[in-house]
Amino acid sequence: MTPSVTLPILGQKFVGALLRFSAELPELSPHDASDKEVSVSSTISRSRRTSTVLLVGGVLAAGLVPISATVAQAAGTVQTVFDFEDGIDRHIQWEAAGAGIQNVAEIGANAQNAGSTKALSYGFDLASPPGYGGIGFEFSDAAQDWSAYDGVQLWAYGDGTESSIQVELLDASGATDPAGTYERWDTVLPVGAEGWRLVTLTWDQFTRASDFQDPEASTDGVLDKDHVRGILFPANAGTGVIKIDDIALFTADGDVLPTVGVAAASADVIEGEDLRAEVRLSRAAESDVTVDYATKDATATAPRDFSAASGTLTIPAGQTSAEVVIRTADNADVDGNRSFEIVLANSNGATLGAHTMTATIRDDEAGGGEPAPDYTAVIDFETPLVLGDPQASPPLGWFTAQGGDNVPSFERVAADDRPGADAENQALEVGLDASSWAVLIDTFTDKGQWVPQDWSEYGGLGFWMKGENSGAPLFIDLLDNRTPDSVIDDAERFTVTFADDWNGWRFVQFPFEDFVRKNVNNGAPDDGFTLSEMHGFAIGVEGVGALSTTLQIDDVAVWGDGSRRPVVASFPAASFAVSEGEEADVTVALSRASESDVSVSFATEAESDRPSAAPGRDYVESSGTLIIPSGERKATIHIPTLDDAKSEPDETFIVRMTDVSGADPAPTTVTRVRIVDNEDPADFAHLIDDFEQGTEGLMPAGDASLQTRGVEPDSAEAYPGQSGYENVLDIAGTGGYVRDFAEPQDWSASDGVGLWYRGRGDGRPVKLSVDEGEKQQAAPEDWTLAWADEFDGDTGTPADLRYWTYETGGHGWGNDELQYYTDSTDNAAHDGEGNLVITMRKLDDPAASGLDCWYGPCQYTSARLITENKVELKHGRVETRVKLPEGKAGIWPAFWALGNDFREVDWPQTGEIDVMEYVGKLPNEVFGTIHGPGYSGGASIGDIHDYGENLGGQWMTFAVEWEENVIRWYAQRDGEEPVKFFEATPAAVAPNQWVFEHPFFFIANMAVGGNFGGPLSPDLTFPQEYTLDYVRVYQAPSTAERFEATFTDDTEGWRFVELPFSQFTRSSEQPEGAADDGLTLTDVQGYSFESGRAAEPGEGSEAVGTQTRTVAAAAPAAGPLSVDQVQLLAGSPGGGAGEGEIPGGDGVPAGSGSLGATGGGIPFGLILSGLLLTIAGALVGLRRHRINASMR
DSSP structure string for 1031-1044: EEEEEPPP--EEEE
How does DSSP classify residue 1013?
A: H
Answer yes or no: is pLDDT of 389 > 80: no
* CA 1192 – CA 1188 distance, rounded (Å): 7
Which SS3 state, helix, strand or coil, does residue 64 take? Answer: coil
Same domain for 408 and 353? no
Q: What is the pLDDT of residue 45?
A: 30
Whole-Å CA distances, 850 to 667, 838, 1023, 1162: 12, 21, 20, 43
Sorting pLDDT into bands at 50, 70 and 90, what band is 196? Answer: very high
Answer yes or no: is pLDDT of 1017 > 60: yes
Between residues 105 and 565, which one has the greater pLDDT?
Answer: 105
User: Considering the domain boundaries, does residue 824 fall inside one?
Assistant: no
Sign of CA dihedral 870, 874, 877, 878: positive
Average pLDDT of the segment spanning 800-810: 90
* Cβ atoms of 959 and 1190 closer than 8 Å: no
Mind listing the pLDDT tens digit for each residue in 293-303? 999 999 999 99
How does DSSP classify residue 996?
A: -
Between residues 343 and 921, which one has the greater pLDDT?
Answer: 343
Same domain for 1031 and 1049? no
- Other CB atoms within 10 Å distance of the CB of residue 312: 10
Mind listing the pLDDT tens digit for each residue in 571-587? 877 789 899 999 999 99
Answer yes or no: is pLDDT of 832 > 90: yes
Most distant CA pair in the chain, distance: 120
Catalytic residues: 912, 917
Q: Which of 431-435, 483-487, 705-709, 1188-1192 has the lowest mean pLDDT?
A: 1188-1192
Which domain covers residue 977, as residue numbers?
Answer: 781-793+865-1035
Answer yes or no: is pLDDT of 1001 > 60: yes
User: Is the whole model's pTM more than 0.85, yes or no?
Assistant: no
* Cβ atoms of 652 and 611 closer than 8 Å: yes
User: Considering the domain boundaries, does residue 531 fall inside one?
Assistant: yes
User: Considering the domain boundaries, does residue 970 fall inside one?
Assistant: yes
Answer yes or no: is pLDDT of 798 > 60: yes
Q: What is the pLDDT of residue 597?
A: 95
Mind listing the pLDDT tens digit for each residue in 660-697? 999 988 877 888 899 998 887 777 788 898 888 788 77
Whole-Å CA distances, 287 to 249, 257, 305, 386: 21, 11, 36, 62
* Cβ atoms of 18 and 234 closer than 8 Å: no
CA nearest neighbour of 78 among 107, 113, 109: 113
Between residues 94 and 1020, which one has the greater pLDDT?
Answer: 1020
Last residue within a domain, chosen from 206, 225, 250: 250
* Cβ atoms of 626 and 599 closer than 8 Å: yes
Sorting pLDDT into bands at 50, 70 and 90, what band is 448? Answer: confident
| CATH assignment at residue 76 | 2.60.120.430
Asked if the bond preceding 1023 is cis, omega within 30° of 0, the reply is: yes
| CATH assignment at residue 667 | 2.60.40.2030
Sorting pLDDT into bands at 50, 70 and 90, what band is 527? Answer: confident
Last residue within a domain, chosen from 362, 390, 422: 362
Mind listing the pLDDT tens digit for each residue in 1138-1174? 333 323 333 333 232 223 333 333 332 222 222 222 2
Q: What is the pLDDT of residue 469?
A: 85
User: Considering the domain boundaries, does residue 536 fall inside one?
Assistant: yes
* Cβ atoms of 196 and 157 closer than 8 Å: yes
Beta bridge pairs of residue 604: 655
Q: Would you call 100 exposed, middle or buried from its count of C-beta atoms within 10 A (0-12, 13-18, 19+)?
A: buried
Asked if the bond preceding 373 is cis, omega within 30° of 0, the reply is: no
Same domain for 651 and 666? yes
* CA 483 – CA 576 distance, rounded (Å): 10
User: Considering the domain boundaries, does residue 931 fall inside one?
Assistant: yes
* Cβ atoms of 248 and 146 closer than 8 Å: no
Average pLDDT of the segment spanning 133-153: 84
Answer yes or no: is pLDDT of 325 > 90: yes
Instruction: Please name the residues in contact with 420: beta carbons below 8 A apart, sequence gap of 6 or more.
Output: 370
Q: What is the pLDDT of residue 265?
A: 79
**Average pLDDT across the chain, whole number:** 80
Sorting pLDDT into bands at 50, 70 and 90, what band is 38? Answer: very low
Beta bridge pairs of residue 700: 737
Same domain for 1068 and 982? no
Task: Determine which helix (DSSP H) or strand (DSSP E) holds 585, and give its type and residue range.
Answer: strand 583-590
Same domain for 1115 and 997? no
Answer yes or no: is pLDDT of 546 > 70: no
Highest mean pLDDT among 2-6, 310-314, 846-850: 310-314
User: Considering the domain boundaries, does residue 820 fall inside one?
Assistant: no
Q: What is the pLDDT of residue 1117?
A: 39
* Cβ atoms of 1069 and 1164 closer than 8 Å: yes
* CA 1131 – CA 567 distance, rounded (Å): 61
Highest mean pLDDT among 95-99, 121-125, 894-898, 1034-1038: 894-898
Last residue within a domain, chosen from 1035, 1062, 1095: 1035
The tally of domains found in the chain comes to 6
Same domain for 958 and 1051? no
Between residues 167 and 50, which one has the greater pLDDT?
Answer: 167
Highest mean pLDDT among 500-509, 626-635, 685-694, 936-945: 626-635
Task: Determine which helix (DSSP H) or strand (DSSP E) holds 971, and give its type and residue range.
Answer: strand 966-973
* CA 552 – CA 432 distance, rounded (Å): 11
Sorting pLDDT into bands at 50, 70 and 90, what band is 526? Answer: confident
CA nearest neighbour of 784 among 520, 528, 1126, 1036: 1036
Same domain for 415 and 546? yes
Q: What is the pLDDT of residue 368?
A: 57
How does DSSP classify residue 849?
A: H
| CATH assignment at residue 892 | 2.60.120.200
Same domain for 987 and 1062? no
Sign of CA dihedral 510, 511, 514, 519: positive
User: Considering the domain boundaries, does residue 74 fall inside one?
Assistant: yes
